[in-house]
Amino acid sequence: FMPLEEAQLYFNAEGLVQSIEIFVEHPDVVEELRQPIEDASGRQIFITDWRDRNKTFFSALQVERNVMFMILTLIVLVAALNIISGLIMLVKDKGSDIAILRTMGATSGSVMRIFFMTGAAIGVAGTVAGVALGVVVCLNIESIRQFFSWISGTTLFSPELYFLSQLPADMNADETALVIVMALTLSFLATIFPAWRASRLDPVQALRYE
């Protein structure tokens, strides 16, 4: 380290500098500052920011986010399969009731709508409960981390390993909406087959052994 003037004399570069470091108040808007900095320099320059210097780290985070979304999709898919199995068992259990409704004049479409609404209600209730629980966990993630660290007697999410003083959590409205739409879509699709089976139930076959 030495004064700038003496460094220029030492490197035989009077009046010149090799690099300029700029600090901004909002680091998330560095992309918008690239062009003004290039225009202010008046020459072709090489610009690198904190994202470029940590590109590997952010790439790993992006891969982790994509993998976590896939894992979440599989979890929702398993829940949707549980809806299918539950509705199929409900259709078998209510076979005689469905047959009676059919003999009283209920159409296959109305029976299908009844079971579709039943499965959709399960999916909507589960999605609402899951989103509410996820928001609570996300907003209190650091307190939860400290609690489990106290319970286990170990340091979870060590700052020496992750270079972060606390467990970060950031809720993204678009991603949250995407997860909600995905969960509702899968739950609605899961109800179609059991509802279709209920609508195709033959009243004669259902009441034969009653």
pLDDT of residue 129: 92
What sign for the dihedral angle of Cα 58, 71, 134, 77?
positive
Contact in structure between 131 and 176 (CB atoms under 8 Å): yes
52-76: b (≥16 Cβ within 10 Å) or e: eeeeeeeeeeeeeeeeeeeeeeeeb
pTM of the model: 0.64
Collect the ranges in the chain with pLDDT lower than 70. Answer: 204-210
pLDDT of residue 115: 86
Going from N- to C-terminal start, the domains of the chain cover: 4-51, 55-207
pLDDT of residue 132: 92
pLDDT of residue 128: 92
